[in-house]
């Protein structure tokens, strides 16, 4: 990343973290970076493009912290509670990650994370699938049954990439309940 693009990226991260996506304009970012608005367009086509780049990095950072924080050997129900509690606390207090459910940019975020590129680059998604596979192997499920259970995990990922709290009342709590009872059935 060249210096000007790096400066824009750093400034954008700070401004988005402070103000969120909707309340940030390009001039806020370029002003913070100490450059003219025209310089922005040498590196990015839109605020949306820059935000997606910032979001991906922020999400990766927070998810890696989560991986280091959670006791992955605990009971599956406890692990899910720990994941949701951590994410809700962190996401609600992070103006970048809180955009996942906000109308102005959520479609762009969801499309990216459900795209082949997004799924391929999302290390937390791969980490969860690997943990899930390991736990299912410990339960000595047959391959066919494991494949069916993994398909349910894929459905949950699909739901999370297509539904937000604006689409479904009490979405986060309902998703948590769905996952808990799914795991309870799989690991009882």
Q: What is the tens place of the pLDDT at every residue in 76-102? A: 999 999 999 998 899 889 999 999 988
Q: In Å, how far are 4, 50, 135, 136 from 179, measured between CA atoms?
A: 44, 33, 15, 15
Q: What are phi and psi of 103, to 5 degrees?
A: -55, -40
Which residues fall within 8 angstroms of residue 179, CB to CB, at 6 or more apart?
80, 156
Residues 73 and 126 in one domain: yes
Residues 129 and 39 in one domain: no
Place 178 in a pLDDT band, splitting at 50, 70 and 90.
very high
Cα 111 from chain centroid (whole Å): 12
**Kind plus residue range of the DSSP H or E element containing 108:** helix 106-114
Q: Would the pTM count as exceeding 0.85?
A: yes
Q: Each residue of 32-83: pLDDT tens digit?
A: 999 999 999 999 999 999 999 999 999 999 999 999 999 999 999 999 999 9
Q: Each residue of 116-137: pLDDT tens digit?
A: 999 999 999 999 999 999 999 9
Residues 36 and 68 in one domain: no
Query: What pLDDT, on a 0 to 100 scale, did the predictor assign at position 91?
Result: 86
- Residue 20 resides in a domain: yes
Instruction: Supply 19's token pair.
Output: 């103000």
Strands, E assignment, the chain? none
Query: What pLDDT, on a 0 to 100 scale, did the predictor assign at position 1?
Result: 56
- Residue 88 resides in a domain: yes
- Residue 50 resides in a domain: no
Count of domains in the chain? Answer: 2
Place 164 in a pLDDT band, splitting at 50, 70 and 90.
confident
Range of the domain at 91: 55-186
8-state DSSP, 99 = G
Give the burial class of 8: count Cβ atoms within 10 A of its Cβ; 0-12 exposed, 13-18 middle, 19 or more buried: buried
């Amino acid at each position: 990343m060249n210096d000007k693009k790096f400066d824009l990226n750093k400034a954008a991260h700070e401004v988005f973290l402070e103000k969120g996506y909707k309340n940030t304009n390009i001039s806020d970012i370029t002003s913070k970076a100490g450059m003219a608005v025209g310089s922005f367009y040498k590196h990015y086509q839109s605020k949306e493009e820059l935000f997606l780049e910032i979001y991906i990095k922020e999400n990766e950072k927070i998810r890696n912290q989560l991986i280091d924080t959670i006791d992955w050997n605990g009971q599956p129900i406890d692990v899910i509670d720990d994941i949701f509690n951590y994410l809700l606390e962190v996401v609600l207090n992070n103006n970048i990650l809180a955009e996942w459910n906000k109308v102005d940019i959520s479609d762009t975020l969801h499309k990216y994370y459900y795209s082949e590129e997004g799924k391929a680059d999302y290390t937390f998604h791969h980490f969860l699938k690997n943990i899930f596979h390991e736990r299912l192997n410990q339960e000595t499920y047959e391959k066919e049954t494991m494949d069916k259970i993994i398909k349910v995990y894929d459905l949950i990922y699909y739901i999370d990439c297509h539904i937000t709290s604006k689409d479904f009342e009490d979405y986060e709590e309902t998703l948590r309940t769905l996952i808990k009872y799914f795991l309870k059935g799989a690991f009882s």
